[in-house]
Amino acid sequence: MIDNEGRIQERIEELQHNRARSNKLEIANPELARKIESLQLARKEIAHQFEHTAHAARKTQLTAALADIDRRVAEMQSSQE
């Protein structure tokens, strides 16, 4: 029970940190923050498709798309810092 409470508290702190970081991104450059958020949402959708796809060729395409999104998000985040 104590271990679960610790994990919950860690998760709450992580979410607060992410929210604060997100707010800083929006303040610094709202257009860039919107683009990053859009890419993150696209990544979630592609990851969902990947989990539910049985065809190897499609999984290869989705893996490449995920890698491209990760690269683009990393570039945007590094350019902002």
For the stretch 15-64, pLDDT in tens is 777 777 665 544 577 888 889 999 999 999 999 999 999 999 999 999 99
What does the pLDDT read at residue 45? 95
pTM over 0.85: no
For residues 34 and 73, the answer to whether their CB atoms sit within 8 Å is: no
Q: At what angle do helices 30-51 and 56-80 cross, to 10 degrees?
A: 160
For the stretch 3-12, pLDDT in tens is 667 777 777 8
When divided into structural domains, the chain yields a total of 1
- Domain with 62 in it: 2-80
